[in-house]
Amino acid sequence: METTRTAHRLGGAALALAAALLPLAATPASAAGTAADGAKSPAGAGSRSADHEARLGADRPTGGLELTLSDGEGTWTRAVRLYCPSGTGTHPQGPAACADLARAHGDPGAVPPATGACSMIHDPVTATAFGTFRGRTVEWEETFPNECLLHRSSGDLFRF
């Protein structure tokens, strides 16, 4: 297991820290269908997997969007923060990602698709977007057959 090898290389202190933080990461904020502030989750929020909720944890963005990518088996996750319209945050393609999202009126699932060939290799990837865009709440998740098809469907929004 890669996590075990990495923790072993870092030494016992890192392993102890990881063990101490694990219970915090494993407790989803919406375990009972409510947010950390007690508000009910919006309609459709129940469609997200329990594993995804556990990985995301209680840290929801207070402004801008938190974008994540994860593989179908839950062995890796990448996340960035995006603030529009400025394109600031940790997204490497921030301005282009904001432009794609603006063309889709804030709906990651409505980004105009690109054309091009993709292999038909089955290597699922799940993309999520949570936060706010132009004052509107965004809660979106979709699983794609592979990363190429994700990028064709989402422009620069999930290129990180």
Report domain extents, the chain: 1-49, 61-160
Terminal Cα distance for the chain, rounded: 24
pLDDT tens column, 86-145: 999 999 999 999 999 999 999 999 999 888 899 999 999 999 999 999 999 999 999 999
Q: Are 125 and 152 in contact (CB under 8 A)?
A: no
Superfamily (CATH) of domain 61-160: Subtilisin inhibitor-like (3.30.350.10)
Half-sphere exposure of 130 (CA within 13 A, CB side): 20
pLDDT tens column, 48-102: 455 544 544 444 445 799 999 999 888 899 999 999 999 999 999 999 999 999 9
State the pTM of this model.
0.61
The count of other CB atoms within 10 Å of the CB of residue 148 is 17
